[in-house]
Amino acid sequence: MDRSLRKILFLCMLCLTFALGASKQASAKEAGVVESLTVSVGKKGFHPSSGNYLRIKSYVNAANRTGVVRLRIYNDVGQFVFQKLYANSTGGYIDYKWKGKPSKDNAAGLSTSKYVKNGSYTAEVSLIFGGNEEPVSQKACGFKVSSKAESGKQGLAMAKTAPILTGNPEVDYMAEQICKAAKIKDSQSDREKVRRIYHWMTKNQKHVHYQTSGSYKTYYKLSSSQKKIESYRKLTDKRYKKGKLIYRYDYNLIRRSWCMERRIGECTDHAAIFKILCNHVGVEAGICSGYYLNRNGTRPPHSWNYAVVDGMTYYYDVDVEIQNYGKGQGDYYWYQKTKEEAKLTHQFVTTD
Q: In Å, how far are 84, 101, 258, 259, 346 from 97, measured between CA atoms?
A: 11, 11, 33, 32, 27
Q: What is the distance, to the nearest Å, from the Cα of residue 136 to the centroid of all Cα atoms in its chain?
A: 23
Residue 83 shares a structural domain with residue 183: no
pLDDT of residue 333: 85
Handedness of CA 65, 67, 69, 75 (dihedral sign): negative
Is 242 a domain residue? yes
pLDDT of residue 148: 96
Residue 197 shares a structural domain with residue 237: yes
Residue 175 shares a structural domain with residue 138: no
Residue 210 shares a structural domain with residue 286: yes
Q: In Å, how far are 47, 52, 285, 312 from 152, measured between CA atoms?
A: 8, 4, 19, 11
pLDDT digits (tens, 9 = 90+) for 285-325: 999 999 999 999 999 999 999 999 988 999 999 999 999 87
Residue 154 shares a structural domain with residue 273: no
Residue pair 71/125 in contact by the 8 Å Cβ criterion: yes
Last-in-domain residue among 158, 191, 206: 158
From CA 320, how far away is CA 156, in angstroms rounded?
29
DSSP line for 187-230: TS-HHHHHHHHHHHHHHH-EE----TTS----SS-GGG-HHHHH
Residue pair 73/80 in contact by the 8 Å Cβ criterion: yes
Residues of the chain with pLDDT under 50: 1-29
Domain enclosing residue 232, as ranges? 164-351
Torsion of the alpha carbons at 279, 281, 283 and 287, rounded to the nearest 10 = -30
pLDDT of residue 327: 65
Residue pair 292/312 in contact by the 8 Å Cβ criterion: no
pLDDT digits (tens, 9 = 90+) for 43-89: 999 999 999 999 999 999 999 999 999 999 999 999 999 999 999 99
From CA 229, how far away is CA 235, in angstroms rounded?
10
Sheet holding 54-61, edge to edge: 33-40, 54-61, 91-98
Is 12 a domain residue? no
Q: In Å, how far are 61, 148, 153 from 311, measured between CA atoms?
A: 31, 18, 5
Residue 153 shares a structural domain with residue 39: yes
Is 265 a domain residue? yes
The domain tally of the chain equals 2
The single-letter code of the amino acid at 175 is A
Phi and psi of 251, rounded to 5°?
A: -65, -35
Residue 173 shares a structural domain with residue 220: yes
From CA 270, how far away is CA 185, in angstroms rounded?
22
CATH number at residue 284: 3.10.620
pLDDT of residue 328: 56
Residue 145 shares a structural domain with residue 187: no
- Beta bridge pairs of residue 95: 57
Residue 151 shares a structural domain with residue 225: no
CATH number at residue 43: 2.60.40.2550
Is 225 a domain residue? yes
- Beta bridge pairs of residue 34: 60
From CA 222, how far away is CA 218, in angstroms rounded?
9
Residue 232 shares a structural domain with residue 139: no
Sort strands 346-351 and 312-316 into parallel, antiparallel or unpaired: unpaired
From CA 84, how far away is CA 103, in angstroms rounded?
8
